[in-house]
C-alpha cells in the first residue's frame, strides 16, 4: 500500500512571526502518532514570478489514507488549523498517494 502525502504551500500574511507558527506546527505533528514524517522548508532560490508569493512548503507523510483521515479530525490538528488559517494569505493543498520512483540512499 502506498504512503499518503499531505503537501501545503503557503504565503503568510505580512507581519506574521513565522517562527512561532513553525514551532506550533512542529509541536502539533510531534504529538500526533498518525504523522509518519514531517518536513518543511522556506524558498530561497525561486524567482518571484515563478513562486507567485508562496514562501514555505510543508510535507507530511502518512502510512495510509486512513491515517491521514485520522490526522484531519485529531483535536490538535483541528485547533492548530484555526491558528494557521488566520495567518495565511494564499495556500495550495495537495493530498495524494505517493508513487516512489527512487528510494532515499
Query: Bridge partners of 92?
Result: 9
Q: What tens digit of pLDDT does each residue of 44-79 get?
A: 988 887 889 999 999 999 999 999 999 999 999 999
Q: What tens digit of pLDDT does each residue of 70-103 get?
A: 999 999 999 999 999 999 999 999 999 999 899 8
- Give the predicted TM-score (pTM) of the model: 0.91
Q: Tell me how far apart the alpha carbons of residues 82 and 85 are, in angstroms, rounded to a whole number.
A: 5
Strand ranges across the sheet with 37-42: 37-42, 56-62, 4-12, 88-97
Selecting from 1.10.10.10, 3.30.70.100, 3.40.50.300, 3.30.465.10, what CATH number does the domain 4-96 have?
A: 3.30.70.100
Amino acid at each position: 500500500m502506498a504512503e499518503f502525502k499531505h503537501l501545503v504551500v503557503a504565503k503568510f500574511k505580512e507581519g506574521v512571526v513565522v517562527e512561532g507558527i513553525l514551532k506550533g506546527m512542529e509541536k502539533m505533528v510531534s504529538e500526533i502518532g498518525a504523522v509518519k514524517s514531517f518536513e518543511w522548508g522556506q524558498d530561497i532560490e525561486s524567482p518571484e514570478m515563478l513562486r507567485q508569493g508562496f514562501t514555505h512548503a510543508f510535507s507530511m507523510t502518512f502510512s495510509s489514507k486512513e491515517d491521514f483521515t485520522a490526522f484531519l479530525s485529531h483535536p490538535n490538528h483541528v485547533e492548530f488549523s484555526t491558528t494557521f488559517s488566520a495567518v495565511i494569505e494564499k495556500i495550495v493543498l495537495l493530498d495524494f498517494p505517493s508513487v516512489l520512483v527512487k528510494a532515499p540512499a
